[in-house]
């Protein structure tokens, strides 16, 4: 069986380099990248890592530079983390500074998309809630095209709640209104992108639903805590990629947002075989990776797990209508 798997999948590594750290194989497709994603079935994406704080203008300068760097390197889609607009100012500021999707901040971000001719995954925008629930906001993943138009929005459905005495306490429902639906994958120059946010990563049912709807890429813009990130971040990302045979893209917050809140970082891209093909270093950073849809289809064709599911035994995962 091992020799068969080597014959089927290892030819991909002839155009890659790989190293093993702590038993995990890391691969890079840098040598085979096509600038601007011009090769059929391939496109470059940029994945951002930053430390958002309470000042929205300061944060804007940081991710503006990251978007420009990604565009210069040929990325067609750029992914920003949860809370790219602001973090760390406390619940009152989060609520009071929330904006609508047609507000000042999104107008400025729209101009960036158009200026740099890139699609933007804006994961975790603090969207103003309705008057009937004015003390909370939506945590909204916005997909914007290269003309600056919003083409899809997803409001975070799974809200994080952790209380570890002496370490961390976060109860997202105190300031966030849960979303009520999974959004169909969005066609982009890099493939069909399934929209999720951070804590959604822990719920494989949602990922299966997105894959069943045609997602090529599952994206989890995040602000994972230091404690949970060290334990679970990479293994969950790689698991979602392997079990759904999708690329997984995870832009991330990193470092200290204030004296009480710190994020894990380690923004990365995982391919459908479970290899980490790009990862940011410590601090503010950008990594660029190639999404190769031909390779994705090869993995699915040669290990057809979707055809082997026993729905006659355990049923289907279906979205409510």
Q: Are 267 and 293 in contact (CB under 8 A)?
A: no
Say how far apart CA 53 and CA 85 lie, in whole Å: 8
What are the φ/ψ torsions at residue 84 (nearest 5 degrees)? -60, -30
Would residue 156 show up in a list of annotated catalytic residues for this protein?
yes
Question: 27, 48, 198, 280: which is the annotated catalytic residue?
Answer: 198
Question: 56, 76, 128, 156: which is the annotated catalytic residue?
Answer: 156
Would residue 127 show up in a list of annotated catalytic residues for this protein?
no
Q: Look at residues 139, 125, 231, 229 and name the one whose alpha carbon lies nearest to residue 178.
A: 139
Strand ranges (DSSP E) for the chain? Answer: 17-21, 24-28, 42-50, 77-80, 119-128, 137-144, 150-155, 161-164, 168-171, 176-177, 186-188, 191-195, 217-219, 247-250, 252-256, 262-264, 268-270, 276-279, 285-292
- What 3-state class would DSSP assign to 202? helix
Would residue 65 show up in a list of annotated catalytic residues for this protein?
no
Pairing of the two strands 252-256 and 42-50: parallel
Question: 82, 127, 234, 290: which is the annotated catalytic residue?
Answer: 82
Catalytic residues: 82, 156, 198
């Amino acid at each position: 069986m091992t020799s068969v798997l080597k014959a089927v999948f290892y030819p991909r590594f002839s155009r890659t380099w790989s190293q093993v750290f702590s038993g995990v194989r890391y691969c890079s497709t840098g040598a085979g990248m096509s600038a601007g994603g011009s090769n059929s079935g391939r496109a470059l994406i940029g994945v951002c890592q930053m430390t958002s704080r309470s000042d929205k203008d300061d944060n804007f300068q940081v991710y503006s530079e990251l978007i420009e760097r990604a565009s210069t390197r040929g990325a067609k889609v750029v992914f920003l983390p949860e809370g790219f607009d602001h973090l760390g100012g406390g619940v009152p500021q989060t609520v009071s500074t929330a904006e609508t999707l047609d507000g000042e901040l999104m107008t400025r971000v729209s101009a960036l998309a158009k200026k740099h001719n890139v699609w933007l995954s804006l994961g975790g925008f603090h969207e103003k809630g309705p008057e009937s629930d004015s003390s909370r906001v939506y945590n909204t993943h916005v997909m914007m095209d290269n003309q600056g138009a919003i083409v899809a929005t997803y409001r975070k459905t799974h809200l994080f709640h952790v209380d570890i005495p002496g370490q961390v306490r976060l109860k997202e429902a105190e300031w966030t209104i849960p979303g009520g639906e999974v959004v169909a994958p969005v066609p982009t120059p890099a493939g069909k992108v399934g929209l999720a946010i951070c804590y959604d990563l822990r719920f494989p049912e949602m990922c299966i639903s997105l894959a069943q709807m045609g997602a090529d890429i599952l994206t989890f813009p995040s602000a994972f805590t230091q404690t949970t990130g060290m334990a679970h971040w990479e293994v969950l990302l790689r698991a979602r990629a392997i079990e759904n045979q999708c690329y997984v893209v995870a832009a991330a917050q990193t470092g200290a947002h204030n004296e009480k809140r710190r994020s894990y970082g380690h923004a990365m891209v995982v391919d459908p075989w479970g290899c980490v093909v790009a990862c940011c270093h410590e601090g503010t950073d950008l990594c660029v990776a190639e999404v190769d849809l031909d390779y994705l289809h090869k993995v699915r064709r040669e290990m057809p797990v979707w055809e082997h599911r026993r729905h006659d035994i355990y049923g289907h995962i279906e979205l409510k209508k």
